[in-house]
Amino acid sequence: MNRLWREAVLPLALLWLFSTFAATIARVDGNSMNPTLHTGEVMLLLKAPRWAFAWHLTGLPYRRGDVVIFKAPPESEYAWETLNVLGLAVRHRPYIIKRVVGLPGDTVEIVNGKLRVNGKTVAESYASGDSAQDEAPTRVPPERLYVLGDNRVLAESVDSRYYGPVRVQDVAGTANIRLWPPGRVGGKLQSPSF
C-alpha cells in the first residue's frame, strides 16, 4: 500500500494540485487572437495569481494588455456550447482567450474604429486592424474586466463587445507566455502602452 501511495497516488495528487492552483497549459482554438496567437499554439496558463486574489492575499492580478483565459458571463447567449457526449446534449461554458483592455472603473469605447480607455486612444500595434463598428462608452463595473480579441475584423472575435465585461471570478489566469510551436516559443506577449 505504501508503494502504491508513493508511486501513483501522491504524484497524481501533486499534479492535480499544481495544475489547479499554480499553472497548466492551454491550446489556442480559433482566429479571435490573430495575429498575436494562432490555432494550435500552446500557452502557459498561470493560475497562482488568480488564487492569491480569490483568497484576498493580493490585489487584482490583471493589467491592461494581459492575455487571459476565462469563461464568458453565464447569462450571455455566447457563453454556452452544446457537446454531444454519448448521444446526450451537454451544455457547458468553454474557456476563451482574449486580451484585457479595461479594468474595474475604466471607461472603454471604440470611436472611429480605435480603442479608447478613459478618454485616451490606445496604440494597439498587436491588433489586426480597426474595429468595424463603434462601441458606446462602457464603464467597467467592480470585479469585472473588459476583454477584446486582437482580431478586430467584424464577427471574428466574440468578446466584451457582445457579452459585456467578464467577472474576475471567471478568469482562470493569465496566458502571456507561448510554449508551442518551437519557432514562436517564449517571452511575454506584447502589451499595449496604456
CATH code where residue 34 lies? 2.10.109.10
The reported pLDDT for the residue numbered 131 is 77
* Residue 157 belongs to domain spanning: 25-188
pLDDT at position 68, please?
96
Domain count, the chain: 1
Q: Which residues are catalytic?
A: 32, 98
Pick the closest to residue 64 from 115, 131, 137 (CA basis).
Answer: 115
Arithmetic mean of pLDDT, 135-155: 93
Give pLDDT, residue 14.
Answer: 84
Of 129 and 84, the structure prediction assigns the larger pLDDT to: 84
* pLDDT computed for residue 29 by the predictor: 93
Report the amino acid identity of residue 127.
A
| Average pLDDT value for residue range 116-145 | 91
Residue 18 lies in a domain: no
Cα–Cα distance list, 16 to 11, 20, 46, 48, 190 (Å): 9, 6, 14, 14, 31
Q: Which residue has the cell 511575454?
A: 188
In the chain, beta strands by DSSP E: 23-27, 42-46, 67-71, 81-85, 88-92, 95-102, 107-111, 114-117, 120-121, 135-139, 144-148, 166-167, 171-180, 186-188
pTM of the predicted model as reported, rounded to 2 decimal places: 0.89
| Domain assignment of residue 56, yes or no | yes
Query: Could you read off the pLDDT of 15-58 as tens digits, one per residue?
Result: 888 888 888 999 999 999 999 999 999 999 999 999 999 999 99
